[in-house]
Amino acid sequence: MQFPFLLAPFVLAGSIAAKQCLNITVPVSISARNGVFNIPTLQGNSDATTFAQNLTSIRGNFTQEALLDYATVTGEYNISVKFCKPDVENGTNPTVQVLTHGLGFDKTYWDLPFNNYNYSYIDVAVDHYGFCTLSIDRLGEGNSSKADPLSVLQAPAEMSALYELTMMLRNGTLPDVPQAFSKVVHVGHSFGAGLSYLLAAMYPTASDGLILTGFSQNGSFLAPTVASWDSKLARLNQPLRFGNISYAALSEAFSTLGVSASNLTKISDGLAKFNITIGEIQQALQTTDLGDLLAGSHPSQLPHMADLPTGYLTWVDAGSNQYAFLLPKYYDPSILQFAESSKFPYTLGELLTIGSAPKMAPMFKGPVQILTGRQDAIYCGGDCLATGDPALASIPAKSKMAFPLARTFEAYIQPDTAHAINLHYNSTAAFNVIQRFLTREGLGSS
């Protein structure tokens, strides 16, 4: 179906992509039953460590220990989305994929601005298979409205925003996209997959199909993951992106040393006088939190999430990033530095409610595909095929029991891939697996 009313405001994304995309700010009203937690306001990085120690302790369920009550959270927020469609549409019944990112990312996870967009999920879905997509910045992340990181930014509230966006797509009320979609599928990664699963459990007719990537229902490995992150206050870890230090102030500070904040050559030369090699300096900048301290030091890297409250956290450095998300030898080393310098925070409320979804989505009747990297550390402990049960093909395959009415269930294990599927060399192979599954299930654009 042609969208003549949309052509004027659309712009091409990427240098060779044929998709047409529009960035939109969407007002939503949320209503959710959130937890009320007895967690004191974090004052510094030591408090973040204490929180992680409590959360990962085997002595009990810290979420339950800290839970005082439940409260209905309501509010008006803006959600930043990007709607993409094929440059030329031949059908009359397009399918839209709603793309929800996980912790540590924003919506660019699906259209990664790295290496000329060669890792773009949206390029494959839209240009090669004719889908429309709606990638979202989750509530509290990216260009979406910020909110209290403990009382508001929890899984139920974020799912409420996802539901509202879904209904707008179905009803044709999404701003600047006057099209009612009869086929809406949800594609999520990690925490975003959990939100998509929660949506299907609570509103089983809201979605026509589920794609859950970087996902299983085995929470055994979440504690070591959180421990490996060595969480810090986001505003202290990357103060230029998440704190209240301005680029102008940094430039002024560097100018007193006779150097530019965006050109650290003179600093490197100075350190070299102390018998520190350029290679060692580069390693320090790339693999320790010194690099995070300088993230955003170039004007082009300036953020949109300044002066965050202390309940926004992030992992400590590139090493923690690699441990949780990437498989050595199977990703471009420079993508790790890109991912670390452009990472996004997670919140206390998200960590406390990451396992809050019900065990089953008993009334969901659409097709379900779980696609997880074989070497996923967060949900498979590093090997999704190590089930210990000859009758169980993979750890994600056990989730079939959660969808008793699903018309199709498939657990696909992507080889040579860790948790952040979209950042690996073979990411496009995974993208094609997803599109073919949806097409086989009658959910392609037509």
Q: By three-state DSSP, how is residue 86 classified?
A: coil
User: In which element (H, E) is residue 225 found?
Assistant: helix 222-229
Distance CA 136, CA 394 (A): 30
Burial category of 329 from C-beta neighbours within 10 Å (exposed 0-12, middle 13-18, buried 19 and up) = exposed
Tell me, what's the pLDDT at 83? Answer: 98
Question: What is the DSSP code string of 319-330?
Answer: HHHHHHH--TTS
| Residue 31, beta-bridge partner list | 74
Q: Write down the residue that tokens 């509530």 correspond to.
A: 139
Question: How many Cβ atoms from other residues are within 10 Å of residue 155's Cβ?
Answer: 22
pTM reported for the whole predicted model: 0.89
Write down how long the chain is.
446
The closest alpha carbon to 235, from 56, 109, 48, belongs to 48
Tell me, what's the pLDDT at 18? Answer: 79
Tell me, what's the pLDDT at 5? Answer: 32
The percent of residues in the chain predicted with pLDDT above 70, rounded, is 83
Tell me, what's the pLDDT at 92? Answer: 83
Burial category of 11 from C-beta neighbours within 10 Å (exposed 0-12, middle 13-18, buried 19 and up) = exposed
User: Which tokens belong to 376?
Assistant: 């996923």
Give the residue ranges of the chain where pLDDT is below 50. Answer: 1-17
Strands ordered across the beta sheet of 95-100: 11-12, 20-37, 67-85, 132-136, 95-100, 183-189, 209-213, 368-373, 409-414
Per-residue HEC secondary structure of 347-368 comes to EHHHHHHCCCCCCCCCCCCCCE
Tell me, what's the pLDDT at 247? Answer: 61
Helices (H), 96-135: 121-122
Tell me, what's the pLDDT at 89? Answer: 75
Tell me, what's the pLDDT at 310? Answer: 96
Distance CA 445, CA 280 (A): 52
User: In which element (H, E) is residue 211 found?
Assistant: strand 209-213
**CA of 249: how far to CAs of 182, 285, 342, 389, in Å?**
51, 21, 21, 58
Distance CA 321, CA 182 (A): 39
Structure confidence by residue, pLDDT tens digits, 47-74: 999 999 999 999 889 999 999 999 999 9
Question: How many Cβ atoms from other residues are within 10 Å of residue 164's Cβ?
Answer: 18
